[in-house]
Structure 1
């Protein structure tokens, strides 16, 4: 009777081995993940963070959690910078009359921009910490680091560099508003027409406006750079 049971014990022991052999090996998972990062992120212009399909996630094995560091950051970044467009729009001024009448709006935009930058920086620090803790073979690490730079470091740093430039433009706008308020007796604003009675006041106001225009051009260049980073064109 003892002999008759041996095949059953052997079968029971062999079954887990057979099941384990059906899964993807680490080299296969690594190769699949490397190819995904290279072809779907690194080789494409702009910032692309594809959502994994169930099959892709399964084929990457444990490396799917490495990709989550990138996707989690981008979800957080999207939420953090979502107000940027409306803030820039709210801070846009088209006349000296706007500068005076919308001073509170300009200050509110500055506050919103600073909050956005704080949130984005926190998201970046969190992602950088998670990135530093990843254990990866050197061949994967090289590709992953390139993908991480493209989808985390570069967009975050570019956004964060734009915020101070927008703030500088808002500072210049507020200086103009303060000057106009302090010299309203010498300055007459009628729509797009501005009349200044005192030559000294006119020269000082022109200098402030030249600085504001220069700051505005810098912001336009920064926005163009941001678009190039995000869209690759």
Structure 2
């Protein structure tokens, strides 16, 4: 009995010692990481100041394995910027695809006959906007929870404004204008369709026998062209940031 108790006590002490050993290792590793923090922070700040802030591009580069290692825990902070950048690129691509489908609508008659295509494109833009809003909410939540030293925070906040806030504003504006244009095209198509044989189509134009109907058509068309011009202005801004 005494031998058995001695064996149990010996085994228990071994477990305690092993647990303490592992705990010590964890604290040592944590201590080593903390020792590297100033160096990691300095490397991350330099990266933001030389690679992100001076760049005219909206998108941000993917970190190399070496960069991730040199930034330590701050690589997770950078992921806030890079994750949004990736989602933004996908969103702009999806919006471009929706507008490419509209290029087949080249006449008043097309607005009548291709209303399904227009409606489909508009739904796709709506889905993109919904995903953009969800993505931005997630990014803002992650950003609000950051706890950074003051010197890093000052630089990171600038990078966040440049690579998240500004692109998000442009993307929101782009999607809003695209949705408006598609909605106006759909409205024109429905209007022309409601007139039936009271309107005739010659080439890209529509001919009316009633002046009031013509005036309303021109009013709708003019409003759509104004939105198209606004979208073109935004597109030019984006073109300089690709």
Shorter-chain TM range is 0.7 to 0.9
Task: Kindly indicate whether residue 193 of structure 2 is the aligned counterpart of residue 181 of structure 1.
Answer: yes
Task: Kindly indicate whether residue 208 of structure 2 is the aligned counterpart of residue 196 of structure 1.
Answer: yes
Under a length normalisation based on structure 2, what TM-score does the superposition of the two structures give?
Answer: 0.80
Q: What's the CA shift string for 1:72-91, capped at 9, x where partnerless?
A: 22223333443211101112
Partner of 1:210: 222
CA distance in 2, matches of 1:111, 1:48: 26
Gaps of 5+ in 1: 1-15
Q: What's the CA shift string for 1:116-160, capped at 9, x where partnerless?
A: 011111111111111111110111001111111211121122101
Under a length normalisation based on structure 1, what TM-score does the superposition of the two structures give?
Answer: 0.83
Structure 1 segment 80-159 matched on structure 2, within 5 A = 80-92=91-103, 93-159=105-171
Asked if the contact 2:95/2:175 (under 8 Å) is kept, the reply is: no
> Alpha carbons of 1:193 and 1:45: their partners in 2 closer, same or farther (altered >3 Å)?
closer
3-state DSSP class of the match of 2:148?
Answer: coil
3-state DSSP class of the match of 1:183?
Answer: helix
Q: What's the CA shift string for 1:190-216, capped at 9, x where partnerless?
A: 222432222222222222222222222
3-state DSSP class of the match of 2:162?
Answer: helix
Compute the displacement of 1:22 (Å): 10
CA distance in 1, matches of 2:89, 2:132: 9
Partner of 1:70: 81
CA distance in 2, matches of 1:160, 1:97: 31
